[in-house]
Amino acid sequence: MLSISQLCLVSSRGPIYKPPSVERLTDRFRSTPVTGKMSTFFGASNIRMKNNGSYADIILDKTSGSGLVSKDRYHYGFFSVAIKLPMGDTSGLVLAFYMSNSDIFPHNHDEIDFELLGHEKRRQWVLQTNIYGNGSVKTGREEKFYLWFDPTQDFHQYSMLWNTHHIVFLVDNIPIREVIHNQASTSMYPSKPMSLYTTIWDGSKWATHGGKYPVNYKYAPFVASLEELEIEGCLMSKSNTTTGSCSKSSTLLTSDPVEGDEYTKLTEQQTTGLNWARNKHMFYSYCKDTSRYKVLPPECRA
């Protein structure tokens, strides 16, 4: 039986639980114009900058998807953007907000992924997270969540905190996944500088049971809107792609932005939020997929 405090409403998408209160990490960092930190990755004709580059739309239609990439690479940091997703029949669409270095480390790349997947059932978006380190792509580390809001009606924040202690995925500042850097996870923990990307593309063959529910371009163009971009962290040296001292990406900060004591572990409030998200909204974790992995990856057994 759901209590009134637990249940905000019940809709065709199932129960929508009221999220707990958590610290707002996004309030600690200053948002920046999209054009200040990002440049065109692909699909230039399907990218619309607005308000002198403060905001952006990225678009998928029959001709192309589109995407942006950061002008700098980072050893670690805090990366966040507010996204409003396309409405309607979005089966096969993929909106990705992620970090990667596959362009310079094609055989042992690192990756930290938010992937918002248009869903074939109930016209509902699904959120997937994933992580690779040192080319560990043979093991998929996906976790999937139903959202506790309609991501097409308003902007919602998707954030990644990455440092030497842990990686935290957050939605509207609520942690939904934490990957702790320890002996069990060292081999798959991202360790090399990465760029930040945000893209929209046709993932029909990958995201919908081998193309069973492809993108229906009758409903195109599909427009995703971006705002409140926050990037703060350790900039990669232009002369060294693997190591080097960190330079802060904001002159307003007097200390390292995401390696300080307050970022080494989750607070009590954040831990409560993490447990809430995983207990109420996560419906798939690779660590519980014994049919896929007869022997679970080492970080699942730690």
Peptide bond into 221 cis (omega under 30): yes
Q: At residue 297, what is the residue type?
A: P
In the chain the first and final C-alpha atoms are separated, in Å, by 34
| Cα–Cα distances in angstroms (integers) from residue 111 to residues 40, 90, 133, 235, 281, in the given order | 20, 25, 6, 17, 23
- Residue 298, helix vs strand vs coil: helix
Known catalytic residue at 111: yes
CA 16 vs CA 9, 89, 109, 168, 248: distances in Å: 5, 21, 37, 23, 39
Active-site position among 111, 120, 232, 259: 111
CB-CB contact of 145 with 283 (8 Å): yes
Q: How many CB atoms lie within 10 A of CB 138?
A: 6
Nearest to 236 by CA among 13, 73, 60, 64: 73
Catalytic: which of 23, 115, 142, 143?
A: 115
Number of Cβ within a 10 Å radius of residue 48: 13
If we measure between CA atoms, which residue out of 175, 203, 179, 208 comes closest to residue 281?
Answer: 175
Distance, in Å, from the CA atom of 95 to the CA atom of 66, rounded to the nearest integer, reads 10
The kind and range of the H/E element at 116 are: strand 111-118
Catalytically active residues are: 111, 115
